[in-house]
Amino acid sequence: MIEGYFGRESIVGGEQLDIHVSTDSAYFRVDFYRIGAVNEFAGSTDWFPGRQAPVPAHPDGIAGHACPAVDWNWPAYEFTPFRHWKPGVYLALFVESPDQPYAIARLQGFGRASFVLRPRVLGRATILYKISSFTRHAYNRSDAPHIQRASSLYDHPVYLPGHDGSHAGHTVSMHRPGWLFDLAYWDAPFIGWLERAGYQVEFCTDLDLHSDPGLLRWYRMLLSVGHDEYWTAAMREHVERFIDNGGNVAFFSANTCWWRTHVTDDGTALVSDTDHRVGDVYPHLPAPDRWWTPKPDGVGKPENTLTGVSFRNGGMWATDGIWPGDRPRNGFTVQHADHWVYEGTGLRDGRDGCPADALGAGLPLIGYECDGAAFSYDEHGLARPTGADGTPENFLILGIMVLDPVHEDIYDLRMGHWNCATREPHITGPRAATMGIYTRNGTVFTAATTDWPVIVGQGSDPAIDRITRNILDRLSS
């Protein structure tokens, strides 16, 4: 068995990449593939001598479960990517056998890791694609083949009370192995589509955006893709300033900016004071790092003021415990079909006397998690934001899908139902997945669903493809 992780998930061309590996094999190598229109084999390391390293025990003494809160400190092997490698997102496959072929059987699985190779000179592309690396680490269970260590912010989390000015909260280290899933499900299909469609894109991780206040000034547009749940205050500050200065953002994501997190341990760990379990207490409240909850029980800065929408007015599905689960396939009811976002789609909004079209009808577009804005219907039957949850007044709802049924208790997930946090008592309207757009110097578009990039990457719907192109073309130029 072989497992591994990187000392950093983002490096600039020419920098060294530390590879941390534990294996019961005498030797191993690492094969690298660049993710794109075709997942190209890029090269391999030399053979390294293998060593098996211990797994840190869970501090609560839970048999069979590892500690998610500490650096696993596995043996490090130095590697510098070859000079001819193009910037992009790279998959690493840890190889135990010389007989293993140079081919990817599948992107997701164990014995894999990923990293971003950033260009030496930034801004040759106008689009910056942010990998949602903090969310990946929050959910990483550190499992291995036939071993369920089940250790994350959600499974047997470790809560540290904080001392000497440190942040209290649930803690995860970014120096742990695990199952690679998010890259395969959300990012790889969309990155491949971007490259096939001819878009020039540069990449960064959450940590890059957190650490570099000047990073966004090199770009016209930022992309948030898939499941982008965990944001630091610095990330949000940098993106808010970017928009205020005329930069544009497309959230092809959902459950976006739901928890505030804090970077610790010299950029190798995350702390977030959430409602997740502490001992036998669940939910653990208050949850001071929930963005929307008013102070002192939360941050008091609703994510709607950035994205236009919030998970608390959206929800999620799972079916019989299977993730991501099936869901109704009604699609977004189209509004304002004359908006430039819909240009070239031929979609109608019902103003011609015919029924309004549904964007993505028949496809698993909306979910598995989605976000919404508090809204009401005007005299023409159009959904308009009320602003009661922090959504900007000029947010234009372009597509809506009312969520029904809704299960009201976030702490009692019923499979096949929507599940979201208790909303403010004064918000009494329905919940709905809410696709829309607003402008405040820069323009912000939200698809309001995690699975928009999946549908685009699969080429499942010409109208969704065209809308994505319209957004990229307009906001990146």
pLDDT, tens only, 334-356: 999 999 999 999 999 999 888 99
pLDDT, tens only, 242-282: 999 999 999 999 999 999 999 999 999 999 999 999 988 88
What average pLDDT does the segment 171-180 reach?
96
Cα separation values, 209 from 130, 216, 233, Å: 8, 8, 11
Q: Which residues contact 62 (CB under 8 A, 6 or more apart)?
A: 156
pLDDT, tens only, 391-427: 999 999 999 999 876 665 554 444 445 555 566 888 8
pLDDT, tens only, 204-219: 999 999 999 999 999 9
Q: What's the pLDDT score for residue 413? A: 46
Give residue for tokens 């630091």: 232
CA pair distance 348, 469, nearest whole angstrom: 19
**pLDDT > 80? residue 101:** no
Mean pLDDT of all residues in the chain? 92
Q: What's the pLDDT score for residue 64? A: 86
Q: What's the pLDDT score for residue 407? A: 60
Q: Which of 112, 80, 138, 116 is nearest to 5 (CA)?
A: 112
What average pLDDT does the segment 5-20 reach?
96
Contact 361, 329 (CB under 8 A): yes
